[in-house]
Structure 1
Amino acid sequence: MTEEPHHPRPPWQMDWTAEARHTFDTMPTDGRQLVVAARAELITAVDPYYRGIDADAHLPHWISVRPLTSTSPGGEHIADLAGGRGWLIYTFIRRHAEPQIIVTDAFWA
C-alpha cells in the first residue's frame, strides 16, 4: 500500500506581526469581535485569497476579500470589515508542511 501525499487543508494557522497584534489587542470590543469572526472565515477557507469569480460569495455580507494591489494577486490581501470600518491585511504562505496566514496590519475605526 502506498501512502498518499499529504496536502495541507484548513484550518490554517494564523500569526500576527507584533504591531498588528497590538492594534488588535487595543481595539474596542465590537472591533475585536468582528476581527475574530473574520479570522474564523479566513482560517477555514480552502483558499484564503478567495480567488476566482464569486469565490467569496459564501462570506458574510460584512466582509470582502481582495488583493491589496491588483498587480499582485498572489501577494498581500485585504479583508475589508463592516463596509471599510476596519480591515486585516494578510499574506497566505502556502508552505508544504505548515501553511499559514500572516496578518501584517489591522485597523478598526
Structure 2
Amino acid sequence: MSGEPFMGPPWAVEWTERAARDRDALPPHVRALCLDVLVEVLTARNPYVNEFSEPLRSSDPKGDHSAHFDDGRGWFEFNFIRRETEPQIVVYELFWQ
C-alpha cells in the first residue's frame, strides 16, 4: 500500500475489444447518448449507485451492472474493479437496437 487515499471519481475506463468495436459501430448520435451515460457512471462517487445503472443479479449487488441509454433501447454492461491504485470500470458488452 502506498499510503495514498483511495482514488475517487472520475474512474478510469477500459473497453473490451468487442465492446469498443460495438461502440464504434453505433451511429454518432447514439454513441453520444451512450458516452453521456458513461460519464454519469464514471463521475459518480459510487459507480453502482446512480440513476442509470442497476445490478444484473440482485443477489450480487457489487457484481456486474448494466447502464441504459436511449430510452432503454441500448445498454452497456460493466464491472467496477476496486483496487488501491487506479480503480477502474470495465465495459465488456454494449447493445443497441
**Fold match (TM-score > 0.5):** yes
SS at match of 2:71: helix
- 2:39 pairs with 1:6: no
RMSD: 1.3
Indicate the residue corresponding to 2:47 in structure 1: 48
Match of 2:71 among 79, 83, 89: 83
Indicate the residue corresponding to 1:30 in structure 2: 29
Gap runs ≥5 in structure 1? 51-55
Match of 1:101 among 64, 73, 89: 89
SS at match of 1:96: coil
Gap runs ≥5 in structure 2? none
Cα deviations across residues 6-45 of structure 1 (Å, max 9, x unaligned)? 1211110000110000000001112100111112111111
Corresponding letter in the other structure for 2:15? W
Aligned-pair distance for 1:5?
A: 4.1
Identity %: 39
Q: Which has the larger radius of gyration?
A: 1
Q: How many residues align?
A: 95
Structure 1's consecutive aligned runs of 4 or more residues displaced over 3 angstroms after TM superposition are none
Q: For 1:27 and 1:82, locate their aligned partners in 2 and report how far apart those are by CA, in whole Å.
A: 12
TM-score of the superposition, structure 2-length normalised? 0.91
Corresponding letter in the other structure for 1:70? S
Corresponding letter in the other structure for 1:68? L
